Amino acid sequence: MHQIASDTLRQMPRGVWALGFVSLLMDVSSEMIHSLLPLFMVTVLGASALMVGVIEGIAESTALIVKVFSGVLSDYAAACRNGLVWARLVQAQKQVTCEASRPSARP
């Protein structure tokens, strides 16, 4: 049993390994940003708890709606790879935008 699993892992193309590793790093960085975003909004931007709740609610609603429609679109589209590439590009752009919006440290 162990030999079969080992052979299967060796047969996977490098692209699959690379995509899996990139996906892991993107997910970890997104989770780090999501956990610190409410704290940033309250302490640096001066948002109230109500405003943070409204923004989080809108973000979660948007994410759920997009998941439903993207699932339907991927069922009809033959090019799921293009959707994956598009999703990773959008996620990378979001992280660049978040990084650019940080206040710069001035001496």
What are the tens digits of pLDDT across the range 3-46?
666 667 778 788 888 888 888 888 888 788 878 888 888 999 89
Contact 51, 41 (CB under 8 A): yes
This prediction has a pTM of: 0.51
Q: Which amino acid makes up residue 103?
A: P
- What was the pLDDT predicted at 107? 45
Nearest in space to 73 (alpha carbons), one of 93, 87, 94: 87
pLDDT average, residue stretch 68-86? 70
> Cα 12 to the chain's mean position, in Å?
24
